[in-house]
Structure 1
Amino acid sequence: LLACFVAVAAFGSLELLLLIFDFFKRRRGLYFWSLLLSTLATLIFTIVITLLWFAVPQARFGLVFVIVICYPTLNVGNTLVIYSRLHLVTSARKIRWLFWMIVISSVVFLLPQAIIVTISASPDGEHVRDLYRVFEKLSVTATCVREMVVGGVFVWATARNLKPLIVIKGREGRKMVIYLIIATTMMVVTDIIIV
């Protein structure tokens, strides 16, 4: 079952990588870079996870080191993708606190997790594996809360600030707003399932 999820993630990342370079004519900005980095990190992460299943013990530490780099990149990148689209539905001044919440929560939860994972993967790392299990649950919960906050702000700002679009565009505008809200809600529901 896990192999199926890894295969779907790898295929989806590869497809998204091709779409990114096809879609973006100007390759700059937070949206482009966060989307590109989180997609590359997800692709590399799936490859490394697959290699870990078949790895000889001597290669394990090197593969875990790659995971330590990829996991925070895809984790923060996914949140920054959503954050980078917020300026479309609200003013940048109002959402600056979200950027700092993303930065602070990443440093507080992902940096210690990376250190603990690296230590636990070393040959003498047996003593921190229990700490890793506890901190991993804490980190996943914090990540989900962070994404729910960003997604919630996105849904709220979309519903509130795009009312004139609904009036002007009529049915088409309403459908677009509903699609945006459904996509963000699906992300939040997925986070809740993970926790």
Structure 2
Amino acid sequence: MADSIKGAVDLTRSEAMAIAALATTGIYSAIEIYILVFTTFRQRRGRYFWSMIVANSGIFVHAIVSLVRFLARSGTVVPAAFALLAWCAMVTGQSVVLWSRLHLVVYSRTWIRSVLVIIVTNACALHVPMTVLWVLCWAAPVQEQAAWLRRYGVYEKVSIVMFTLQETFITGIFARQGLFNLRPLFAFKTRTARLISWYLLSLFLIVFLLDAGLIILEYTNNFIYQTTSKPLVYSIKLKVEFTVLNKLLAFTKMNSCDCHHLDDSPEVYSKGLMATDTTATTKGLTQAQRTTQSGELMMVPEIERPDHIFDGSYGEGERQQNLR
């Protein structure tokens, strides 16, 4: 265990090839995410942008450090320290990515703040003790290092389970509240609504299964494979989150509408359901529904709220206005 943490491990040829494949794939995925982020966001600021950058930087650094630690067999404190910092940025940063777009499906500030409190609390309760234990594993006298390493191993198992529960909880909120709070819009975009439902459910399942894989590696004492596979696992999760949140925001903006003539009292429907459910429930939408004299529903664009803009997800009408 001590040699694994410090990186001074004798590896077979197959083990070295597996570690190299996992780390280089993680590096490639991180570079791909950088390209996606910088080509998608036209305004590079805000919580969503910076949380993506921090989380992806953690993935990138962790993957590079894995190569140095285990293939170059550095056995020094510097690569291990970078791995620890990258792990903190990678894990908590990804939860902040989800939290920064939670307002798309949750319209209670209390709930949103509560999720942020959970993220901050877990970061303090898990990252800080892990860092202290890691320092003691390196700084303690040789005769005491074995005891600190055992404590570090136990706390690492606890932390990976807690972070899995945290991410599962947040993605579960997206899946449940997305289906519940966006239900009024399903009447107008039936096909797209089904896709969004599948996207949210897929986000929940993919995040849970990938985290479960890391837990299995951790509890079967495959420390090296668990460590080197983290960048790849978290890069996959970050790509999935990036794609799903993009599609979710495009759906809530309702740039187009599949509305048809309503035979059953369109005026009552538009003043009742649309005024109470769509306008009040789906806060932050950039389209408003109005009823024409003929009884047809039409979409009237409103001014976009800055906190609901996903840079790069313009509708066609918005693009034409910007080109003028």
TM-score (norm 1): 0.92
Partner AA of 2:213 in structure 1: I
Shift of 1:123: 7.3
- Aligned residues of 1:65 and 1:118 also touching (Cα < 8 A): no
Q: Distance in 2 between matches of 1:92 and 1:2?
A: 44
- Aligned residues of 1:158 and 1:181 also touching (Cα < 8 A): no
- 2:36 is aligned with 1:16: no
Deviations 1:18-39 (A, max 9, x none): 1111111111111111111110
- Aligned residues of 1:38 and 1:77 also touching (Cα < 8 A): yes
Q: Distance in 2 between matches of 1:115 and 1:67?
A: 14
Which of 12, 25, 36 is the matching residue for 2:42? 25
Partner AA of 1:72 in structure 2: C
Residue in 2 that maps onto 1:64:
80
Residue in 2 that maps onto 1:88:
104
- Please say which of residues 86-95 and 66-75 is displaced more in the overlay: 86-95
Deviations 1:111-161 (A, max 9, x none): 110121232134746231111111110110111111111111111111111
Q: Distance in 1 between matches of 2:19 and 2:179?
A: 36
Higher RCO (C-alpha under 8 Å, 6+ residues apart): 2
State the structure with more CA Rg.
2
Q: Distance in 2 between matches of 1:2 and 1:86?
A: 35
Structure 2 counterparts to residues 36-75 of structure 1, below 5 A: 36-53=53-70, 54-57=72-75, 60-75=76-91
Residue in 2 that maps onto 1:112:
129
Question: Tell me, what secondary structure is at the counterpart of 2:188?
Answer: helix
Q: Distance in 2 between matches of 1:97 and 1:29?
A: 20
Q: Distance in 1 between matches of 2:45 and 2:107?
A: 20
Q: Distance in 2 between matches of 1:155 and 1:149?
A: 10
Q: How many residues align?
A: 193
Deviations 1:18-73 (A, max 9, x none): 1111111111111111111110111011101110011333xx10111112211111
The 4+ residue runs of structure 1 with deviation greater than 4 A are none
- Aligned residues of 1:61 and 1:122 also touching (Cα < 8 A): no
Residue in 2 that maps onto 1:163:
183
- 2:137 is aligned with 1:137: no
Q: Distance in 2 between matches of 1:7 and 1:36?
A: 19
Instruction: State the Cα RMSD in Å.
Output: 1.6
Deviations 1:53-109 (A, max 9, x none): 11333xx10111112211111110011111112111111513210100000011001
Structure 2 counterparts to residues 145-160 of structure 1, below 5 A: 145-160=165-180
TM-score (norm 2): 0.57
Partner AA of 1:112 in structure 2: P
- Aligned residues of 1:64 and 1:118 also touching (Cα < 8 A): no
Q: Distance in 2 between matches of 1:61 and 1:36?
A: 25
Unpaired segments ≥5 residues, structure 2: 1-17, 216-324
Unpaired segments ≥5 residues, structure 1: none
Question: Tell me, what secondary structure is at the counterpart of 1:168?
Answer: coil
Q: Distance in 1 between matches of 2:135 and 2:67?
A: 18
